[in-house]
Each structure stands twice: as C-alpha cells, then as structure tokens.
Chain A
C-alpha cells in the first residue's frame, strides 16, 4: 500500500520569501514521487518528479524538492515566492507494479501575500 501526507493544508508567505510545502510518503517499494500544481479552473500541471535518480530534483518555475528516504519526505521548496505561485499543490506517490497508481495527497493551498 502507498499513501502520502501533506502536513499543511494552507501555507501563506509574503512575496519574495521562501516557500516550503511539506510531504511525507509511505510505500512498501521504491516510490516515484511527484509534485503537481493546480491553478483555479485549470488542469493539474507537473512541477517536478523523482524516479530514483538524483535525490535533489529541480522543476519548473524555480521549484525544487529533495527526496529523503530516511525521513520518507519529499518537501517542495522555492527560494523566493512570486504572486503567480498562489495555487493548490499536490504531492503524489507512485510505486511499481501492474497497476502503478498515482496516489494524491490532500493538497496544500499556497497563498502569496503582497
């Protein structure tokens, strides 16, 4: 079985300050991990993915995430928030197997204050 827990349902930051969105996962096998972003009335967009290569993964729009197996974490960070980053962010886990499902976390709503 696999699961993912997003530790904060809402995060507020000021524009120009760092962003940290926390994610912990549970998986019986080596996971693939993803972060998706969802802007209002828009589809889910992939920010970045970890698939057993480098543990520090760089994504689009200046986001990056670090896979830490010992902590079962995959936190998303960005050095400096922009107003356009305001959206819902989902951490997603997938493990190998015939089904290879994507299991989503409950989401973190990021608010960026001017």
Chain B
C-alpha cells in the first residue's frame, strides 16, 4: 500500500515570498490533516479535512495560511506571505477512520 506522499521535501524561501506544499493521501482515506512541527516541538494541527470539507481550522493562521482539498483527495497548503517563524516541517497525514493517522515524510521549510 502506497503511503502518504508529500512534495517538495525541502524548500528555502525568503520572507514575504509565497510557498505551496502538496499532499497525496493514502487512497480511500477520507480524513486529511496538515500539521506544523517547529524544531524541538511536537506537531501542531493546522487543519483537518473530512473529504473536501474543513472539520477544524481553528489553529490555522488564516491571514497568511490557506489550504484546500477540492476533490476530496489531494490537498495543498499555501503560505503567503511567509515569515521567519514559519520555518518548520509541514506534515500531512491521512486516516480511514479518524482514529489512526498515517504520516508523510513532511516538507521542511526554511524561511530566510
């Protein structure tokens, strides 16, 4: 079974630039999560989708972050404009049952 795919693996941008991350969940998984993991901390939930609808985006900084899952499969997370404190690993995960989540390898973002 193919796992959760994320791209790119690494990204370096200057502050105030924009960036987008892509996630392809495991086939058939209705739930998709985006997490932000700052160095030395545990992952923090940014947004949770159930199919193509948003279940929880209470911790998403909506002034600069946006995410979509238009067809209920792939998802993109965008940051515009980026700040230095956005440097982190962005993890995508999917779940068939909202009990167990399967994680991708993440995208490491460095904002300089």
Residues of A participating in the B interface, judged by any CB pair closer than 8 Å: 6, 32, 34, 36, 41-46, 49, 51, 90, 94, 98-107
- Please name all residues of chain A whose beta carbon is closer than 8 Å to the beta carbon of B102 when the two chains form the complex: 46
Residue in contact with A90 in the complex, picked from B4, B43, B45, B100, CB distance below 8 Å = B43
Q: Please, how many angstroms separate the alpha-carbon atoms of A49 and B95 in the complex?
A: 14
**Contact present for A106 and B41 (CB under 8 Å):** yes
**Contact present for B56 and A46 (CB under 8 Å):** no
Q: Which secondary structure dominates chain A's binding surface?
A: strand
**Contact present for A51 and B106 (CB under 8 Å):** no
**Contact present for B99 and A43 (CB under 8 Å):** no
**Contact present for A101 and B42 (CB under 8 Å):** no
Known contacts A44-B93, A102-B45, then 15 further A-B pairs from the complex at CB < 8 Å, ordered by chain A residue: A32-B99, A42-B105, A43-B3, A43-B103, A43-B106, A45-B103, A46-B100, A49-B99, A49-B100, A94-B98, A101-B56, A102-B93, A104-B35, A104-B44, A106-B41
Q: Please, how many angstroms separate the alpha-carbon atoms of A48 and B90 in the complex?
A: 23
- Please name all residues of chain B whose beta carbon is closer than 8 Å to the beta carbon of A101 when the two chains form the complex: 45, 48, 56
**Contact present for A105 and B100 (CB under 8 Å):** no
**Contact present for B105 and A43 (CB under 8 Å):** yes
Residue in contact with A99 in the complex, picked from B35, B41, B43, B48, CB distance below 8 Å = B48
A55 to chain B, nearest CB (A): 17
- Please name all residues of chain A whose beta carbon is closer than 8 Å to the beta carbon of B3 when the two chains form the complex: 43
- Please name all residues of chain B whose beta carbon is closer than 8 Å to the beta carbon of A49 when the two chains form the complex: 99-100
Can you list 30 A-B contacts with CB-CB less than 8 angstroms, sorted by A residue number? A32-B99, A34-B100, A42-B105, A43-B106, A44-B43, A44-B91, A44-B93, A44-B103, A46-B102, A49-B99, A49-B100, A51-B99, A90-B42, A90-B43, A94-B99, A98-B55, A99-B48, A99-B55, A99-B56, A100-B98, A100-B99, A102-B93, A102-B101, A103-B45, A104-B35, A105-B42, A106-B41, A107-B40, A107-B41, A107-B42
